[in-house]
């Protein structure tokens, strides 16, 4: 039995549309410099690495915060401000500064041309566990539905967030395809909710073999994704 022709294509964001590691590293460096200027008690007491360690420890204590990484960062920062005796009035400014720097992303070179062509073929949406702001980034016009775990209250790989996105777009899960870089969150999560899943694997990893995960397709670029989608549209 041949696969159904897809009606919707949904995307992960970080490390699928753009590399996120360098962006977060630069954002945290800039953020710490902002803290050094406006809340020096915090910056002097905690390094970037120590603030990160505090967030991870907080996440272990409050695993529900995994759905909203900004809230995790804020709660950890509130604790750091309190312990350092810093003026809490600067917390909002600190979070706004991080928000701007975190959204200073540069899409992979093949993403923008392919998105325009994909949008002409079928409907596009987003499901993300992160806090990218597509309006700030300037890509929101490509997607009719954007569902973030922070707003929804559940995070990938929970099938509920995939099903909610499909419902928002008015498509059945079997008529939707999800594209992401993470085998557990994206591929297994989507397949567990009844969607097909494309693994965006830019570095040629064979991790899926060791993990025993079978994506419906593996693409090393958005050009390859576009070619795969065009093939599926023939069904």
**Average pLDDT score over the chain:** 96
Decide: residue 151, CB within 10 A, 0-12 exposed, 13-18 middle, 19+ buried: exposed
Residue pLDDT, tens place only, 92-151: 999 999 999 999 999 999 999 999 999 999 999 999 999 999 999 999 999 999 999 999
- Please determine, for residue 207, whether its predicted confidence score (pLDDT) is greater than 90: yes
**CATH number for the domain whose boundaries are 21-102:** 1.20.120.1600
Residue extents of the structural domains in the chain: 8-19+105-232, 21-102
- Please determine, for residue 153, whether its predicted confidence score (pLDDT) is greater than 90: yes
HEC-encoded secondary structure of the chain: CCCCCCCEEEECCECCCECCHHHHHHHHHHHHHHHHHHCHHHHHHCCHHHHHHHHHHHHHHCHHHHHCHHHHHHHHHHHHHHHHCCCHHHHHHHHHHHHHHHCCCCCCCCHHHHHHHHHHHCEEEEEECCCCCHHHHCCHHHCCEEEEHHHHCCCCCCHHHHHHHHHHHCCCHHHEEEEECCHHHHHHHHHHCCCEEEEECCCCCCHHHHHCCCCCEEECCHHHHHHHHHHHCCC
pLDDT computed for residue 235 by the predictor? 73
The pTM score is: 0.92
Looking at domain 8-19+105-232, does it have CATH number 3.30.420.10? no
pLDDT computed for residue 2 by the predictor? 58
Separation between Cα atoms, residue 119 and residue 9, nearest integer Å = 9
Decide: residue 4, CB within 10 A, 0-12 exposed, 13-18 middle, 19+ buried: middle
- Please determine, for residue 78, whether its predicted confidence score (pLDDT) is greater than 80: yes
Average the pLDDT over 14-26 and give the result. 97
């Amino acid at each position: 039995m041949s696969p159904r022709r897809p009606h919707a294509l949904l995307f992960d964001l970080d490390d699928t549309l753009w590399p996120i590691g360098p962006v977060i590293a630069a954002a945290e460096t800039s953020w710490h410099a902002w803290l050094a200027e406006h809340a020096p008690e915090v910056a002097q007491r905690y390094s970037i690495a120590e603030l990160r360690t505090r967030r991870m420890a907080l996440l272990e204590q409050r695993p529900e915060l995994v759905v909203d990484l900004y809230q995790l960062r804020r709660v950890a920062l509130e604790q750091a401000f309190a312990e350092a005796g810093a003026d809490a009035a600067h917390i909002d400014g600190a979070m706004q500064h991080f928000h701007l720097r975190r959204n200073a992303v540069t899409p992979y070179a093949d993403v923008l041309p392919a998105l325009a062509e994909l949008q002409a073929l079928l409907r596009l949406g987003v499901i993300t566990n992160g806090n990218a702001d597509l309006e700030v980034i300037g890509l929101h016009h490509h997607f009719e539905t954007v569902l973030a775990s922070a707003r929804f209250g559940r995070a990938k790989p929970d099938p509920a967030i995939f099903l909610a996105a499909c419902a928002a777009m008015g498509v059945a899960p079997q008529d939707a395809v999800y594209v992401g870089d993470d085998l557990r969150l994206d591929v297994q999560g989507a397949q567990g909710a009844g969607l097909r899943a494309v693994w965006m694997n830019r570095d040629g990893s064979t991790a899926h073999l060791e993990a025993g995960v079978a994506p419906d397709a593996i693409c090393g670029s958005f050009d390859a994704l576009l070619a795969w989608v065009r093939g599926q549209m023939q069904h």
